[in-house]
Amino acid sequence: MYKRRMVVFNILRGLAAIILALAVAAIFIFLASDEPFEALKQLLIAPLVNFRGESAAFNVQSLYQILALMIPTMFTGLGVCVMFSADMFNLGGEGAVMAGGFVASLIAIYVPMPAGVHPVVAVLVGTLVGGLVTLIPALLRVKVGASEMVSSLMFNYVVMYIIMHYLNNVFADRSKGSTQSFPFIETAKIPQLVTGGSRLTYGFLIALVFVVITAIFMYRTRWGYQVRMIGVNPNFAKYSGMNVASTLILAQFIGGLLSGMGGAIEVLGRYNTFLWKELPGYGWTGITIAILARNNPAFVPFAAFFLAYLDRGCQLMSTHSDVPSEMIAIIQAAIFLFFAAEQFLSGARQKLVVKNAQDELAAMEAKTVQEGK
Amino acid sequence: MSGFWSTVFNAEFVFAIFRITAPILFAALGAIIAEKAGVTNIGLDGMMSIAALFGTLISYWTQSWLVGVLGAVLVGMVLGLMMGFFALRLRTDIILTGIAINMLGGGGTIFLLYMFTGLRGNTSSLSSSNILIPTVKIPLLKDIPVLGSILSGHAVLTYLAFILVFVVRFMLNRTSTGLNIRAVGENSNAARSVGISVKRVQYIALIMSGALAGLGGAFMSMYYSQSWNVGMIAGRGFIALAAEAMGRGQPVGAMLSSLIFGFAQALETRVSGIQGVSSFLVAAIPYLVTIIGLVVFVWSSKRKADKRRRQISTSDGE
């Protein structure tokens, strides 16, 4: 009874945080826009509903686009879930995504392979490179004691500039106006799942498979248990004989692998050539997703869908009204702050706890009275 | 080769080091105060970006650089208060609170700029020389050869950054506020037991941290780049965190670490103009230097601590 009430309370509390965040967004829209209602309609309804004059219809292509947006962020979200579960704030997901995407692109451009094998090999190599990107800050933390947060942030910039160097000076396609690589060989591309320009590829299914794998890893294996236990209480983990150092390193490495895979799949599925000129931002979205999912991989697809929906809404809003798409940053920050706030609605939780205690007391009294008869 | 060295290392180069160091130093001092109070302010980068934007806007509206700088400081303080509200009152993890502030500093500033002015991405159309932070020529000093061209002619805020190093050191070591801050950071329970309001002290520390980040932001948009644009802070708030760690939380140490970064970046701007040098690889140097510096300093302090422990244990054995 008590447990169910708390679950319901936590769900309502999460919803309240999201609604509050959207309310903050609405306030900013009213301040910024000359047509706030049109902007809000585009943000909240248009991602799934197509308006033509008076009639409205469900927009399937737009749904596909939302699902396509989820592909890289599901991977980074899963990666962050694993990394943050161990209570390590490794922010190298950003760099891992870009490095994974870049290296996978190089294989897609320069190493001819048979159709079925090519994307698999390219993605796997990209995955491994992503793992290395988060492994280095993890090693520095465990072996030397340098803050993984600071070193991973710095390392993101190093990774970005090294990639930009190679993209500009070694692998650039000079025949194009903007900086980009040569086109991928056709065999390397990840096939589309549906027709149309949505870019919803098989990567989406792979992402869902990895949701299951990561959930099993975190909740059904010894290593996952160790990762979570270190996050809850590192001293307990240490004194009960767990190898804390190697588990921490493992968790960060897995986080990077997932992020790198996300980057590789995104690049090979969405584009024909490598053209990222800065860190793509999926690593940060991954952090928001992990927070919404409370570090539980099973909730990652829902959180990713929610953010992809908002992302698409913001894009539509900037196209069809006068509000810039960067609105998404304000919404994300607000979600972050309210959703992760332990004391948000703490008064209501207190009341709930008191009410439960009173109910239980009343039940006990009723029982003793009956027994006394 | 001697031509290379003389074009890279000269008085102008040393001047540039101080100019580049100043904004990082402001933020590093902000990082120190927050860290000393036991709250890690990872939001410095976003705070700088937001304050930089408002510094430019307020100086444009009032046509006064001083009001602009003060406005940026005020915005920094409000952001510090906001971090305090979420992290201390609502108990959001302080790291996540900082990340949220950084998100606001990224995309959020683009939105805010549009909301206030209708401009997209940068404020170069608003800038004019009369609302930039002025430079000062120091009498007498400016006439000394070499030294004069290195130390004179900086912006007011550059001098302020280096003065604040000693102000912050004094504040932390010699005032009751500083004592409270350090007490809370060392052991919040002990501090509470002697009647210090831990939350209040942490609020104050975050607000001071925000004010310093505000100065760093104003320096960036109102002097360094002469206008505000997206991504102009380029991780300086994070580098400041590294400088804080490298300087072991001491203002003077953080100043030296910031100077190392300033040196690396001054070198970058110098070398990137030379033929055959990849500007991208050179651009990575400051960040790489920060990582290496962080590792070396943490490692050496750990070794020192180990050595001390060993000495204590051997003297115990006697």
Q: pLDDT tens digits, chain A, 373 residues: what are they?
A: 677 888 888 888 888 888 999 999 999 999 888 899 999 999 999 999 887 777 788 889 999 999 999 999 999 999 999 999 998 888 999 999 999 999 999 999 999 999 889 999 999 999 999 999 999 999 999 988 888 888 998 999 999 999 999 999 899 988 888 889 999 999 999 999 998 888 899 999 999 999 999 999 999 999 999 999 999 888 898 898 888 999 999 999 999 999 999 999 999 999 999 999 999 989 999 999 998 898 999 999 999 999 999 999 999 999 998 889 888 899 889 888 888 887 788 788 888 888 888 888 888 888 888 876 6
Question: Per the confidence metrics, is the pTM higher than 0.80?
Answer: yes
Asked if the structure places residue A299 within a domain, the reply is yes
List beta partners, residue A52.
A55
Give the domain range for residue B28. 2-309
Is residue B318 one of the residues assigned to a domain? no
The number of C-beta contacts closer than 8 angstroms across A and B is 144
| Measured distance CA(B182)–CA(B166) in Å, rounded | 17
How high is the pLDDT of residue B318?
44
Q: Which CATH number covers residue B85?
A: 1.10.3470
Please give the tally of structural domains in chain B.
1
- Residue ending a domain, choose from A311, A338, A361: A311
Q: Do A284 and B278 touch (CB under 8 A)?
A: no
What is the model's pLDDT at position B261? 87
Q: Which of B50, B81, B291 best tests the A interface by mutation, with the highest count of A CBs <10 A?
A: B291
Number of independent structural domains in chain A: 2
Question: Cβ of A170 under 8 Å from any chain B Cβ?
Answer: no
Q: Do A366 and A262 share a structural domain?
A: no
Provide the 8-state DSSP code for A65.
H
H helix or E strand, kind and range, residue A57: strand A55-58
Contact yes or no for B284 and A140 at CB 8 A: no
3-state secondary structure B106-152: HHHHHHHHHHHHCCCCECCCCCCHHHCCCECCCCCHHHCCCHHHHHC
ipTM: 0.85
Closest approach of chain A CAs to the CA of B272, in angstroms? 12
Q: Is the pLDDT of residue B29 over 90?
A: yes
Nearest CA in chain A to B97: A337
Residue A71: closest CA among A184, A197, A211: A211
B119-132 per-residue burial string, b: 16 or more CB within 10 A, e: under 16: eeebbeebbeeebb
Residues A363 and A291 in one domain: no
Interface of B with A (CB under 8 A): 42, 86, 89-93, 95-97, 99-101, 103-104, 106-108, 110-111, 114-115, 120, 231, 234-235, 238-239, 241-242, 245, 278, 280-281, 283-284, 287-288, 290-291, 294-295, 298-299, 302
Single-letter amino acid, residue A347: G
Does a structural domain hold residue B152?
yes
Q: Which of B111, B241, B288 sits opposite A330 (nearest CB)?
A: B111
pLDDT (mean) for B288-312 = 83
User: Domain span at residue A356?
Assistant: 346-372
Rounded to a whole number of angstroms, the distance from the CA of B223 to the nearest CA of chain A is 24
Query: CB distance B298–A145 less than 8 Å?
Result: yes
Residue B109 belongs to a domain? yes
pLDDT attached to residue A51: 79
pLDDT at B316: 57
The C-alpha angle A285, A196, A318, rounded to 5 degrees, equals 45
Which site among A158, A159, A337, A342 would you substitute to test the B interface, given the most B Cβ atoms closer than 10 Å to its Cβ? A337
pLDDT, residue A67, reads 96
User: Residue B89's closest chain A neighbor by CA?
Assistant: A343
- Write out the H or E segment, with its range, that includes residue A52: strand A49-52
- Quick one: pLDDT at residue A344? 80
Any domain includes B14: yes
Residue A141, CB-side half-sphere exposure with 13 Å CA sphere = 27
Of the candidates A149, A158, A336, the beta carbon closest to that of B288 is on A158
pLDDT at B272 over 70: yes
In a domain, residue A52? The reply is: no
